[in-house]
């Protein structure tokens, strides 16, 4: 990876390795979300995708994830700019907006645990969709965000 690539290149210019390293591992994009067509709002649940390890906040089968979760979205530079629901802390969103990475980001801290200790990640509050019946989803809404 090129030295401090996140400060020198656009999202489009990153290598595959650099792109992957820009993720801070928060797991927030792996929480279930439901779009309300009437209000154009997005409900975010504390319920995580079935493949998310809710402790490490990593996908438990990243290489083959589309086999199990066909609607998992591969982020691209264009989608990073489109998804205004990505958390303000997200490494991709920061670079897309010309902001610096936070000091706790693994690329700066060399410590993959800091994102958890700082309370940025979903560790501690996310539950797996495997453990929550769909009828209870309403009770798990933690945010309602306007879209667009
Ligand atoms: S929200 Fe951004 S930084 Fe966090 S896991 Fe998703 S892609 Fe990575
Ligand atoms: S399949 Fe993996 S990367 Fe995709 S939403 Fe689920 S946990 Fe996240």
CA distance 67 to 34: 21
pLDDT digits (tens, 9 = 90+) for 12-33: 999 999 999 999 999 999 999 9
Could you state, in order of their start, the residue ranges of all structural domains in the chain?
5-52+62-146
Residue 95 confidence (pLDDT) above 80: yes
Average pLDDT over residues 129-145: 97
Residue 147's pLDDT band, with cuts at 50, 70 and 90, is confident
User: In this structure, which residue's CA is closest to atom 2 in ligand 2?
Assistant: 59
Pocket of ligand 2 (CB under 6 A): 30, 49, 51-52, 59, 65, 69, 72
Per DSSP, which regions of the chain are E strands?
Answer: 31-36, 41-48, 127-128, 141-146
Give the global pTM.
0.95
- Best residue among 31, 92, 101, 143 to mutate for probing ligand 1's pocket (most ligand atoms within 8 Å of CB) is 92
Rounded to the nearest angstrom, the gap between the alpha carbon of residue 57 and the centroid of all alpha carbons in its chain is 9
Q: Exposure string (b/e) for 127-147, b if CB count within 10 Å is 16 or more?
A: eebeebeeeeeeebeeeeeee
Q: Give residue 86 CA to ligand 2 midpoint distance, Å.
A: 14
CA nearest to 46, candidates 148, 134, 129 = 129
- Which pLDDT belongs to residue 56? 98
């Amino acid at each position: 990876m090129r030295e401090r690539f996140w400060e020198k290149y656009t999202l489009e210019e990153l290598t595959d390795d650099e792109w992957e390293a820009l993720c801070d591992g928060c797991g927030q994009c792996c929480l279930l979300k439901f779009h309300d067509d009437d209000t154009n709002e997005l409900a975010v649940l504390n319920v995580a995708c079935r493949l998310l390890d809710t402790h490490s906040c990593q996908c438990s089968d990243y290489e083959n994830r589309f086999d199990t979760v066909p609607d998992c979205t591969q982020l691209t530079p264009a989608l990073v700019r489109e998804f205004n629901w990505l958390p303000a802390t997200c490494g991709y969103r920061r670079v897309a907006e010309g902001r610096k990475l936070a000091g706790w980001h693994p690329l700066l801290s060399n410590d993959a645990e800091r994102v958890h200790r700082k309370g940025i990640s979903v560790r501690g509050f996310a539950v797996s969709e495997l453990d929550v019946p769909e009828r209870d989803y309403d009770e798990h809404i933690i945010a309602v965000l306007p879209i667009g």
